[in-house]
Amino acid sequence: MTGLAAVLLGVALVLSALDWVAVGRRIRSLEYVCKPAAAAAFLATALALNPASDGSRTWCCIALGLCVVGDVFLMLPCDAFLPGLAAFAVAQTCFAVSFALQEPTLLRLTVAVGVVVPGAVILTARFAGALARGGNGSMVPAIEFYAVVISAMLVSAIAGGTAVGIAGALLFLTSDSMIAEHRFVAPRGWQPLAIIVTYHLALTALVLGLL
């Protein structure tokens, strides 16, 4: 890691911590600043790294840029959930390409499919069922599509990523699953903070996984 990348990562982590405070204490004005700024700082960190693969870094940076866009949509006072979901869906696709350009093997790919697909089916059925029961059946196709792309990202991570990168993919899935649980199934007071903490830890690991 270059010195500049280390400094930028420190900035990203400080902004992340400030965003955790904003979410925990419901300081919306601070969250509006820190949430997209943290994602942008992770993007800057990735750009400053000496990566193992330049192609992988390029796709990861595109994904991180889309995360900034998605963050903005999801924190707007109006309901921009679907545009935010679309931005993150494209981001997950780019992350998947980034992992595919690392060191995938057929054995790891086979294991990944066998582990990820059953879990994804169970979670998707849970969230789709909750949407249908809540009268939001029209959103089911979008949620199912997102489940496919984030599952593909995790499969790609397990197939070709480093241990740190795989951890980042798992954390991203954890964060997004908690968003769905909070929004569609059973909202709980601790979930918003847990969602943002796991999200920023995911971005940290995804960036460091480029090394």
Question: How confident is the model over 90-110, as a mean pLDDT?
Answer: 96
Structure confidence by residue, pLDDT tens digits, 139-170: 999 999 999 999 999 999 999 999 999 999 99
Long-range contacts of 8-16 (CB under 8 A, 24+ apart): 8/41, 8/44, 8/45, 8/48, 9/41, 9/42, 9/45, 9/204, 9/207, 11/41, 11/44, 12/38, 12/41, 12/42, 12/44, 12/45, 12/203, 12/204, 13/200, 13/204, 15/41, 16/200, 16/204
Which residue's structure tokens are 């908690």?
178
**DSSP letters spanning 152-173:** HHHHHHHHH--HHHHHHHHHHH
Do 201 and 40 contact (CB within 8 A), yes or no? Answer: no
What pLDDT does 68 receive? 97
Do 15 and 37 contact (CB within 8 A), yes or no? Answer: yes
Flag the least confident range among 74-88, 147-161, 182-196. 74-88
Q: With a cut of 80, say whether residue 77 has pLDDT above it.
A: no
Q: With a cut of 90, say whether residue 116 has pLDDT above it.
A: yes
When comparing pLDDT for 135 and 89, which is higher? 89
Question: How confident is the model over 103-132, as a mean pLDDT?
Answer: 94
Question: How confident is the model over 187-203, as a mean pLDDT?
Answer: 96
Do 169 and 206 contact (CB within 8 A), yes or no? Answer: yes
User: Mean pLDDT over all residues of the chain?
Assistant: 95
What pLDDT does 137 receive? 87
